């Protein structure tokens, strides 16, 4: 459980950095940081503070981040590299949030 928590925190931090780099130079950079980079940072703080609901909400938010990245990858070839990184990170976040349940369900018995 501890490794999945640390992995989830690292993935959330990487996602926040990705969005900060992705929107750098944008006219509405501050707004983009508030909308895209702040939620993963707040969720990372909650995960590191061992809040039980933080991992759940990170998984829910990852569905939004995944959908957004797929839409951008499809619509804007210039930003496709950032979008593909977002797709990979959001899938990683979903897997990291689900890993303790997978381990408990399919782990060794006896």
Structural domain for 45, as ranges: 2-106
What pLDDT is attached to residue 100?
A: 84
**Mean pLDDT for all residues in the chain:** 93
Q: pTM of the entire structure?
A: 0.90
Cβ atoms of residues 82 and 22 within 8 Å: yes
What pLDDT is attached to residue 1?
A: 53
Number of domains in the chain: 1
Name the residue among 53, 66, 51, 52 with its Cα closest to residue 11.
Answer: 66
* 55 Cβ contact partners less than 8 Å away, ≥ 6 residues apart: 5, 8, 47, 96, 97
Place of tokens 């061992």: 50
29-79 pLDDT, tens digit each: 999 999 999 999 999 999 999 998 999 999 999 999 999 999 999 999 999
Name the residue among 96, 15, 91 with its Cα closest to residue 55.
Answer: 96
Does the pLDDT value for residue 110 go beyond 80?
no
């Amino acid at each position: 459980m501890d490794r999945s928590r640390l992995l989830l925190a690292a993935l959330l931090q990487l996602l926040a950095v990705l969005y900060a780099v992705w929107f750098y130079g944008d006219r509405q950079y501050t707004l983009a940081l508030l909308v895209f980079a702040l939620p993963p940072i707040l969720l990372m703080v909650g995960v590191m503070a061992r809040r039980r609901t933080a991992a759940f909400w990170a998984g829910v938010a990852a569905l939004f981040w995944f959908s957004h990245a797929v839409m951008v990858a499809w619509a804007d070839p210039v930003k496709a590299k950032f979008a593909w990184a977002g797709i990979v990170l959001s899938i990683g976040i979903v897997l990291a949030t689900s890993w303790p349940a997978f381990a408990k369900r399919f782990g060794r018995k006896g």
